[in-house]
A and B are shown apart, each in its own frame.
Chain A
Amino acid sequence: DTGVSQNPRHKITKRGQNVTFRCDPISEHNRLYWYRQTLGQGPEFLTYFQNEAQLEKSRLLSDRFSAERPKGSFSTLEIQRTEQGDSAMYLCASSSTGGHQPQHFGDGTRLSIL
């Protein structure tokens, strides 16, 4: 049983550059979530996909952020013109149908902006 996979594990980039992260969910899961976690805080919801449809975006997701899930499989999260405040751990989670089903998280991508 393969878990949620995220790449890369770490990304260091200069302010103003664009970055893209990838998430491969558990294959039978139709729901996919992106969260952001800053130091000393719990994860905060960014966006949610059911299959290929992006159904909700948090107000935390500014215009510089975009997420896709083509064909309802893997997902990408892109940040354009990165800023210092974007430095965080970006977590992806997937789950199957049902409110009692837990979300299974990947190891995250840690983004550092120089």
Chain B
Amino acid sequence: AQKITQTQPGMFVQEKEAVTLDCTYDTSDPSYGLFWYKQPSSGEMIFLIYQGSYDQQNATEGRYSLNFQKARKSANLVISASQLGDSAMYFCAMRPPSGGSNYKLTFGKGTLLTVNP
């Protein structure tokens, strides 16, 4: 069974500073994918970034980057130059290995990020 752990219920950061949101995962499969989603108070889940288990380089998307440490089973999200609009819940999620067709996601409990002006 797959499991995602997000140990930070809440994080605070000053505007324009960088912040790291932690995510550790547990799986016995060698092939998997990791996603980060943002959920503002309005409720929609917004896809941010993806990392495949076989990807050699850490994923980056604009101000978002993923610090992927496979041996430690961690996939931390780094947000650079925080903006007030970054205040939201952030979820780390994992998909099962390739080979099937159901890529259902297993989510962590999330981290509530607050960006202070």
- The complex places the Cα of A41 from the Cα of B93 at a distance, in Å, of 12
A55 touches B101 (CB 8 A): yes
Question: Contacts of B116 on A, CB cut-off 8 Å?
Answer: none
Report chain A residues within 8 Å CB of B109.
40-42
B50 touches A100 (CB 8 A): yes
Checking A55, A89, A91, A106 against B102 with a beta-carbon cut-off of 8 angstroms, the contacting residue is A55
SS class, residues of chain A in contact with chain B: strand
Q: Which residues of B contact A91 (CB under 8 A)?
A: 45
Q: Report B-chain residues with C-beta under 8 Å of the C-beta of A108.
A: 43-44
User: Are B91 and A42 in contact, CB atoms less than 8 angstroms apart?
Assistant: yes
Which of the four size classes fits the interface of chain B? 20 to 34
**Are A99 and B44 in contact, CB atoms less than 8 angstroms apart?**
no
A12-44, CB < 8 A from B: 31, 33, 35, 40-44
- Give chain A residues whose Cβ lies under 8 Å from the Cβ of B50: 100, 102
Alpha-carbon gap, A95 to B50, bound state (A): 14
Min distance, Cβ B29 to any Cβ of chain A, angstroms: 12
State whether B47 touches A102 (Cβ < 8 A): yes
User: In residues 95-109 of chain B, which contact A (Cβ within 8 Å)?
Assistant: 95, 98, 101-109
Shortest CB–CB separation between residue B6 and chain A, in angstroms?
A: 8
CA distance A49 to B104 in the complex (A): 10
Cα(A43)–Cα(B108), bound, Å: 8
Complex Cα distance, B106 from A43, in Å, reads: 8
A42 to B108, CA, bound (A): 6
The answer to whether A42 and B110 touch across the interface, beta carbons within 8 angstroms, is yes
Q: How far is the CA of A101 from the CA of B33 in the complex (A)?
A: 10
- How far apart are the CA atoms of A43 and B91 in the complex, in Å? 9
A105 to B102, CA, bound (A): 16
> 3 shortest A-B CB distances, which residue pairs?
A42-B107, A105-B45, A102-B47
B: residues with CB less than 8 A from A are 4, 33, 35, 37, 42-47, 50, 52, 91, 93, 95, 98, 101-110
